[in-house]
Structure 1
């Protein structure tokens, strides 16, 4: 795989058969997203098994990301399924209403009335419908339609500027975390976190669920609330990565603010040694069309140039007509964008500071590889931390994680510019180094005579023990 940027694909009705899923993985999917907003626990478990089977058929490891539903603030159901709202009309959102009509509709989130005051702007159906709050009387929110349109069952509600008090983790999410651990997920994406506490709670719940198997899932914070933006650094510190969730975020902060926020978030994630995923509507037209628009091509390419670890497909691969073609198109765009990416490794190190031996070895490997122009950077790693640190810097030399841990193989599937292979690491370091060379030769990564930079820990097999760096001429004993 020459591509550095990874691809996250959501699976759903269009991609839940083994044949399609295998084609998608072989086309370049690195991480499969299970959307817990839809389906039952058994559905997700069945799909997880298919993912593992498809990955085995393609001869690779794929990470599984369980994406929690979070507090979906939605309208209720309508008597006839949908209505048409006219601009200037009066409309009531009533927590006590059973079935909606042209005058009123119920609320899934019964606490919404207490969060609102006259003058607040409500955005429905991803911002396509705009209501202005006139008054809140008991359980009823009286509004005037500013921008009308068709409103159907269970469409989402946002308040412009954010500020709704719904907790990030619902009772359903807490059960879904247990399901995610049980089915062997590698990542959990937490929807609508407002602060670090939301992420800490999610991690604690996952750690408790994973304790019997000694499994620790990595936590991704989906940034989609306006109030998360000022607290981005504390959320990053409490997470393993973030998702630039541009749908709900755009509704709360405005479409025009999102591109600059995307760049800022990716930059902050990399500086904090965290992961970044760019998501929402990246290839939206491919839900129904076999080729993307020029704007979508530019959108994916710009995310790559911003330094994102991964680009994500949602409905395009879950329910669209062309799931495989979507992955193929994303992979091709990423490859072309990476060719234009300028390597600025030295400037990355100007203000770098570190206190850990293993982190200093990772930086040393990057610096040496860059100036010697070696063929590959090779990390013999248990936890994958060394390769994560390396992958936070733009370098046009591939990084290889050789690890005995299947969990590390899978989670590093999301790391930008990192490829992973399984390698048992026991015995003397010289024997393991030779085994690493043999594996890279077998995989056609290197040829005899190539220079590589290798990092490892003495004694072998210790987590967090990377303390050695060696420049190796492949084939030389």
Structure 2
């Protein structure tokens, strides 16, 4: 039981994982969820990768969820004639809708985001290429934003633009995103990630589009705009409208400033757990492993701190999509997570200890975890239809493995994102309650989790097949 890692690993697919045998290697190394980034690749690429993931996971007798990540608005400069220009402090530089999008130079460049001249005003600071280049807006003349470079460097084609403090009006969902939601429905994605939401309304709109496309999945809100964390009411609204929130530290760090990121990360994780939602910590977690076979000590600490903060999952981007060692980085991340989980703070919780509960299944979940943390049981077995009861259980810090036993494949894949929850198949067709109990205990023995005489907490509903029907908690002895 001690070998079970609780924190889940999300790995991005790309050219590196297309190499022969690499998908099998990263799954064996510990990947729980794969991310398909809709910013790159064709529809055919995405469908092919998704199909291969499902086939390989089945072959390895593993459940692996698929997260489709929408691109969102492209707030970028256009292209330069020479591909790159060198800017120095004090240079005058313009961002202009009327410049040929292929022929920018060291004085001006076109825009892919046409609303920029209407979103900024003199004195604003624009951060380009993840903040590597900084420009102060001097004036806006028609569709031309005239600036002075305050931090120089090389600026190349299609680099991103952020406004310090946020405030760009770009819609969270583009026409491309709407087309990609249809592709996600063809994939039968388990999660759909929304880029740059500013409010709960953005999340609800994304969910409605997914439902119209025939896709029933978890919605992941990527927290990457300053507006999303500007006040507690807005942040809570986004969290509650979502199934999962991703702390996307790249754009978020540029908009709010790097120094504020650690506190914001901790706040989001804590608040999401309080509101019974799932969190992913993302961006540059093990960036140097794109080129190197081992992580830096700083990266080790970063991953470990996210685990000790209580994140459900940690995410790899370029490390697995384009890096040299996809399976090695997954293996390294798994080891770091496992060691961090031995820290006492990751196994004890005061979650909702002084609150009343609003539903029967939540009451059962909280009672289960209190018993698990204060009684000598080996594990928790939750018979579940939707996966909601294991989700509620997983909001409480514990060292106790939670097995989500369900006949539904979609539910088994969904719980792959939940910290400390492990999917398992159960078929209770035509069985009595006693027969179901004996089958569950036999399955746990097969896993090597329990032995004769051990105690197990079993939760289930009286009416099998009903969503949200968990109303029974039993402590049973393994025969």
Fold shared, TM-score > 0.5 on shorter chain: yes
Q: For residues 373 and 121 of structure 1, what CA distance do their matches in structure 2 show? A: 58
SS in 2 for 1:339: coil
Distance 1:263 1:353 in 2: 25
Listed one character per residue, the Cα deviations across residues 364-407 of structure 1 (whole Å, up to 9, x for unaligned) are: 11112221120001100011000000000101111110100000
Dislocated runs of 4+, deviation >3 Å: 343-346
Matched, 1:108 2:117: no
Distance 1:120 1:84 in 2: 22
Q: Is the 8 A contact 2:274 2:351 kept in 1?
A: no
The residue correspondences of 1:70-149 to structure 2 (distance < 5 A) are: 70-98=72-100, 99-149=103-153
**Which of 38, 41, 54 is matched with 1:39 structurally?**
41
What per-residue deviation string (whole Å, max 9, x for no partner) do you get for residues 441-466 of structure 1? 11212111110000000122211110
In the alignment, what sits opposite 2:441? Answer: 437
Question: Which stretch has the larger CA shift, 348-357 or 93-102?
Answer: 348-357
Q: How many pairs does the alignment contain?
A: 471
Taking the aligned partners of 1:64 and 1:107, their CA distance within structure 2 comes to 33
Structure-2 separation of matches of 1:179 and 1:346: 40
Alpha-carbon shift at residue 350 of structure 1 (Å): 2.4
Q: How does 1:152-167 map to 2 (within 5 A)?
A: 152-167=156-171
Residue 63 (structure 1) aligns with: 65
Residue pairs, 1:273-292, within 5 angstroms? 273-292=276-295
Q: Please name the residue that 2:338 is paired with.
A: 335
Question: Which runs of no fewer than 5 residues in structure 1 stay unpaired?
Answer: none
**1:76, distance to aligned residue in structure 2 (A):** 0.1
Question: How many Å separate the matches in 2 of 1:168 and 1:342?
Answer: 36
Please name the residue that 2:249 is paired with: 246
Aligned CA RMSD, in angstroms, stands at: 1.1
Task: Select which of 448, 452, 456 maps to 1:448.
Answer: 452
- Summarize the Cα distance change of 1:237–1:13 in structure 2 as closer, same or farther, 3 Å threshold: same
Q: Secondary structure at the match of 1:467?
A: strand
Q: Say yes or no: does 1:420 pair with 2:384.
A: no
Is this contact kept in 2: 1:18–1:54, CA < 8 A?
no
**1:353 CA drift (Å):** 2.2
Check whether the contact 2:75–2:112 (CA below 8 A) recurs between aligned residues.
yes
Verify the 8 A CA contact 1:130 1:147 in the aligned structure 2: yes
Matched position secondary structure for 2:192: strand
The corresponding residue for 2:216 is: 216
1:341, 1:299 → 2: CA distance?
18
In structure 2, distance between residues paired with 1:102 and 1:345 = 56
Query: TM-score normalised to the size of structure 2?
Result: 0.97
Q: Secondary structure at the match of 2:288?
A: helix
User: What does residue 225 of structure 1 align with?
Assistant: 225
User: Structure 1 length normalisation: TM-score?
Assistant: 0.97
1:321-367 Cα deviation digits (max 9, x unpaired) = 11111101000000110011336646224223212111111111111
CA distance in 2, matches of 1:278, 1:256: 17
Given the alignment of the two structures, is residue 10 of structure 1 paired with residue 12 of structure 2, yes or no?
yes
What corresponds to 1:256 in structure 2?
259
Distance in 1 separating the partners of 2:20 and 2:272: 34
Q: 2 CA distance for matches of 1:18 and 1:393? A: 40
Q: Decide whether the 8 Å contact of 2:126 with 2:137 is kept in 1.
A: yes
**CA distance in structure 2 between the aligned counterparts of 1:18 and 1:405, rounded to whole angstroms:** 31
Q: Partner of 1:30 in structure 2?
A: 32
**Cross-structure match for 2:240:** 237
Q: Select which of 447, 462, 466 maps to 2:466.
A: 462
Match of 1:388 in 2: 391
Distance apart, 1:40 and its partner CA: 1.4
Match of 1:348 in 2: 351
Structure 2: runs of 5+ lacking an equivalent:
none
